[in-house]
Structure 1
Amino acid sequence: MTKDAGNDERDPTPRGVWATRADAAGRAVHTRHLRRVWGLPGTRLGLMHWPPSGVDRLGVGSWGYWWQAHLLDCSIDAWLRSPTPDRQRIIREVSRGIRLRNARWTNDYFDDMAWLGLALQRAAETADVEHPKALRLLIDQLHGAWTEQAGGGIWWRRIDRYPDDFKNVPANGPAAILLARSTRFGGPAADLDRAIRMADWIEARLIDPATGLAWDGLRVDLDADPASTPPGSDIRSVVKKIYTYCQGVFIGACVELALATEDEQWWERAVRTINAVATELADADGVLPGHGGGDGGLFGGILARYLALAAAALPVRYAEAADTASNLVLSSAASAWNNRAVADGGPLFGPSWTTPARVPGSESATARPGKERDLSVQLGAWMLLEAAAQIERQPPPS
Structure 2
Amino acid sequence: MAQPQAHGAAWQDRAERVQRSLDEYFGTDRPQLFDNWHPLGPGENDTFNYWWLAHALDARIDAYERTGEAGWLKQAVEIHDNLVARNEGLLFNDYFDDMLWFALATLRLAEATGDPVYAEEAEQLWRHVHELGANDEAGGGIAWRKEQLYYKNTPSNGSFVILGARLHRRTGEKRYRDEAEKVLRWLEQALVRPDGFVQDGVNRLGDGAIDTEWKYTYNQGLYIGACVEMAELTGDRTLIDKALRTERAAYAELAEGDVLLDRGDGGDEGLFQGIMHRYAGLLVEACDRLGAHEEAAAVQGRITAATEALWHGALADEERLLAGPDWRVPVPPDGHVPYSAQLSAIMATEVCARLTSRTDALSGH
Q: TM-score, normalised by structure 1?
A: 0.83
1:194-343 matches, within 5 Å, as 194-209=179-194, 211-219=195-203, 236-240=208-212, 241-284=214-257, 286-293=258-265, 294-314=267-287, 315-340=289-314
Alignment correspondent of 2:12: 19
Q: Deviations over 1:31-67 (max 9, x none)?
A: 22233433xxxxx7322112334545xx6x1120000
Q: d(CA) in 2 for partners of 1:84 and 1:353?
A: 29
Q: Deviations 1:46-101 (Å, cap 9, x if unpaired)?
A: 22112334545xx6x11200000000000011111102121111011111101100
Equivalent position SS for 1:238: coil
Give distance in 2, aligned partners of 1:311 and 1:266.
14
Q: Secondary structure at the match of 1:239?
A: coil
CA contact (8 A) 1:22 1:389 kept: yes
Cα RMSD for the two superposed structures: 2.3
Aligned to 1:114: 100
Indicate whether 1:136 and 2:123 are aligned: yes
Counterpart secondary structure, 2:259: coil
CA 1:341 to 1:391, structure 2 compared with 1: closer, same or farther past 3 Å?
A: closer
Which structure dedicates a bigger proportion of its chain to helix? 2
- Please tell me the residue identity of whatever aligns with 1:200: R
| 1:303 CA drift (Å) | 0.2
Tell me, in whole angstroms, the C-alpha distance in 2 between the residues paired with 1:196 and 1:163.
23
Name the SS of the counterpart of 1:354 in structure 2.
coil
CA distance in structure 2 between the aligned counterparts of 1:298 and 1:17, rounded to whole angstroms: 24
Give % identity.
32
Aligned mates of 1:371, 1:275 — CA distance in 2: 32
Task: Number of aligned residue pairs: give it.
Answer: 355
Instruction: Report deviation, 1:197.
Output: 1.2
State which of 16, 27, 35 in structure 2 corresponds to 1:47. 35
- Which residue of 321, 326, 335 maps to 1:347? 321
Which residue number in structure 2 is paired with residue 366 of structure 1?
none
Measure the CA separation in 2 of the matches of 1:385 and 1:110. Answer: 28
Aligned to 2:168: 183
User: Residues of 1 paired with 2:316 and 2:232: CA distance?
Assistant: 41
Question: Residue deviations 1:292-335, cap 9 Å, x none?
Answer: 45100000110010111110112444323222221121011111
Is 1:28–1:345's contact at 8 Å kept on the other side of the alignment? no
The runs of 5 or more residues in structure 2 that have no matched partner are none
Q: Is the 8 A contact 1:290 1:353 kept in 2?
A: no
Correspondent of 1:394 among 332, 336, 358:
358
TM-score by length of structure 2 reads: 0.90
Structure 1 residues not aligned, in runs of 5+: 1-8, 39-43, 223-234, 364-369
Matches of 1:263 and 1:316, distance apart in 2: 11
CA distance in 2, matches of 1:323, 1:338: 22
**Structure 1 position 384, deviation (Å):** 1.1
Contact 2:143–2:153 (Cα < 8 Å) also in 1: yes
Tell whether 2:56 aligns with 1:77: no
Partner SS for 1:166: strand
> Separation in 2 of the partners of 1:46 and 1:24?
17
Q: Which has the larger radius of gyration?
A: 1
1:169-200: CA deviations, max 9, x gaps?
01100111011100222152101111111111
